[in-house]
Structure 1
């Protein structure tokens, strides 16, 4: 991956990078999110409050996968977590993967708004944001101020939800969470608690197949991205699973867009699925 990144930087420097990558950089020099949307959704929650935790949604969750985000927020509410949203902007980490540099102005805005809440922990719903916050020097101030950054799968690992499903479940490792951050077992520990009939796909953990969403692939090579997602869906179906869980809104988005009508497997973020199970249990009481 580092070789590919360096080649992309060289292509940027000589003016021959893919137009989609140049477009992403242009957007994040002018806008506060990768989609250049004007208004940040608040999901009927208050933002920029004092709280123990900040929940950082990420661009895909905020602007494209709102149902998954609503499920995650509902779950935090059910668990009585003292959290606040912030007036977040794109972490801009994606720019480094496509040959450009992270936008320091956007990073500064996020840091300022996180610090203002007094929170000691940031929970991210996006593996890419988690990776950016923990691995990029522009966000080193989080560590220096003693603020812990967790992906939501890490936060949920030791909690008890009091619900289970009898459906067969499989799990897709997001590249950013798995290969880039080494987070493999935390999601599985949670899934095994709610899904006794859990099965692995042929390729899993570090050998997991990419869904085709990340690294600029979806924006620059849409057909390849779709083909990669369908290959992954085929693997999920081959397990006999009825539910495909993952821990990344980009993966949910790409896999759902690639799903064919004849395919009956349902795709969820783990948080949204747990919330649905808890909602059903409460409704049945």
Structure 2
């Protein structure tokens, strides 16, 4: 649907449910504005935006650790956010970009990564990402694009710069595909940018999943050049001076 209809995507995961209910973690502190934005996206009525949720009711192909973690989270938090769900809406699956590391059957992962690449094939990409996310750096995820440009934003508390990020996004050409790897900020902004006529993809951790897939690992590991928030020590990465990567950076918001 995303490929054929050029839909925007907003994805709700554990963190978004937490923030929507007023919670916080090490990456973002909730606020009334963030809660309102997430609730607004959850009640989306724009046919060009596909809102996705975690499917806690079908965990058959997940590892035991992943199943137990998901069920525990679901039991403890569902009552705090169920009031915001539009039960008449057909939500997509948030794991459309997270289908490797916690899955038992990995036979179709290569096929699914190739399908994800079709979303931006031949497109001009504007990537809004954390300062050291480095999405697509060192691999071929974006090898089929027309061009890649980057706007670097804070890895933590990115939503504090929401208005500036929206303003910079609205400077971009409408034919460009806007891709966000910015946690809950990506989920929140998808509604505003889709309403403004952009195709906007909340991409999440697809790049990290792709790196783990390429490495063939079966557990989450840190990466030398890319931040991984879900791994101890994963936020400390090497400094890079790659000329191609540096040339792609067109702006910075909230970072030096």
Task: Give TM-score scaled by structure 1 length.
Answer: 0.33
Q: Which has the higher helix share?
A: 1
Instruction: State the structure with more CA Rg.
Output: 1
Q: Which has the higher strand share?
A: 2
Q: Which has the higher contact order (CA 8 A, sep 6+)?
A: 2
Task: Give TM-score scaled by structure 2 length.
Answer: 0.36
